[in-house]
């Protein structure tokens, strides 16, 4: 209580929550939503104190969409009448924390926020809050229904090699009749193949994902955003084990293609790391014959989801 008898609201500052990539932000904010629903944060007012990310409009828009969950301010923190935060949680540089590389990302963030991950039901660990917080905007050139391919990741270490991307598109054209929208520039032309350049806003990205019947993606933010709209997804993981990222996504079929790299490597140290990561996509068979039955199963998942 203040000297005048008024209740003083305690503020909890989360320093650099939650990282510098779109996918990390989605998962971190889902942990925040779950921790708040579980009562782990009490009645404290939550403030995310973040490093400015100039030019990262999609990431910045994500935190605008999350305003019902928390306020966001920027380093260096200034205010008209600044006062210290009563409570702080420092999760800066979490990617270098050994504990981060041994558990599901959502569990790591939940624990750092003071919640017991085991007490949160699987549905509470999903990204459904985003579908409520964001109003998708449909791109005009998109066909009514389509399969979406997302071959690029924020880190080159996890991006899909172009020969793999090309074969993937060939198989999808052969296995089903819907148009294919790809976020990677295709090496071929086809009447059902649509190239989607970088979207201009998070709302457009939401519209792109929300209209897809199936998403085929590398380990990137697309996978986490697809969960928000419950879109069936086939996701490939090279540097991380799938259970560390998509364990709680009921509509995601995950494929682990482990690279000859240190477990959970976040950043390429040299060109050799990039080469080893690229080779992992072809380790089950360089002819990629194994990919066709996998895509057929993912397409069956999509049909079952539509029929449900």
Asked if residue 294 has pLDDT above 80, the reply is: yes
250-276 per-position pLDDT tens digit: 999 999 999 999 988 888 999 999 999
Distances (CA, A) of 55 to 61, 200, 204, 296: 11, 11, 17, 39
- Please give the helix or strand (H or E) that residue 69 lies within, else none: none
169-200 per-position pLDDT tens digit: 999 999 999 999 999 999 999 999 999 988 98
Q: Which of 22, 34, 57 is nearest to 222 (CA)?
A: 22
Average pLDDT over residues 120-139: 93
Which CATH architecture is the domain 146-307 placed in? 3-Layer(aba) Sandwich (3.40)
Strand pairing of 233-237 and 180-182?
Answer: unpaired
**Choice among 34-38, 39-43, 209-213, 275-279 with the minimum mean pLDDT:** 39-43
Which residues, at least 6 apart from 177, have a Cβ–Cβ distance to it below 8 Å? 192
**Choice among 48-62, 79-93, 263-277 with the minimum mean pLDDT:** 79-93
Average pLDDT over residues 84-89: 79
Sequence ranges of the domains in the chain: 11-123, 146-307
């Amino acid at each position: 209580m203040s000297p005048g008898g008024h209740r003083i609201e305690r503020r909890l500052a989360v320093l650099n929550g939650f990282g510098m990539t779109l996918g990390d932000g989605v998962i971190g904010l889902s942990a925040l939503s779950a921790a708040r629903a579980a009562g782990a944060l009490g009645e404290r007012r939550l403030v995310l104190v973040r490093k400015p990310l100039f030019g990262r409009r999609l990431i910045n828009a994500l935190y605008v969409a999350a305003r019902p969950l928390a306020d966001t301010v920027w380093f260096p923190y200034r205010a008209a009448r600044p006062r210290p935060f009563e409570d702080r949680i420092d999760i800066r540089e979490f990617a270098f924390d050994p504990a981060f590389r041994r558990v599901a990302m959502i569990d790591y963030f939940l624990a750092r926020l003071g919640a017991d991950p085991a007490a949160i039901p699987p549905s509470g660990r999903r990204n459904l809050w985003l579908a409520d917080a964001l109003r998708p905007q449909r791109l005009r050139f998109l066909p009514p229904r389509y399969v979406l391919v997302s071959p690029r990741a924020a880190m080159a270490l996890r991006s899909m090699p172009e020969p793999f991307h090309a074969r993937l598109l060939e198989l999808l054209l052969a296995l089903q009749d819907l148009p294919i929208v790809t976020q990677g520039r295709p090496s071929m032309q086809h009447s059902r193949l649509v190239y989607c350049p970088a979207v201009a806003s998070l709302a457009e990205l939401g519209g792109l994902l929300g209209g897809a019947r199936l998403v085929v993606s590398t380990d990137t933010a697309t996978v986490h955003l697809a969960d928000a709209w419950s879109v069936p997804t086939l996701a490939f993981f090279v540097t991380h084990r799938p259970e560390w990222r998509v364990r709680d996504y009921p509509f995601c079929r995950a494929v682990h293609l482990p690279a000859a790299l240190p477990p959970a490597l976040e950043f390429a140290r040299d060109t050799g790391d990039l080469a080893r990561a690229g080779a992992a996509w072809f380790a089950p068979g360089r002819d990629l014959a194994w990919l066709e039955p996998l895509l057929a199963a993912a397409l069956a998942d999509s049909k079952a989801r539509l029929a449900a």
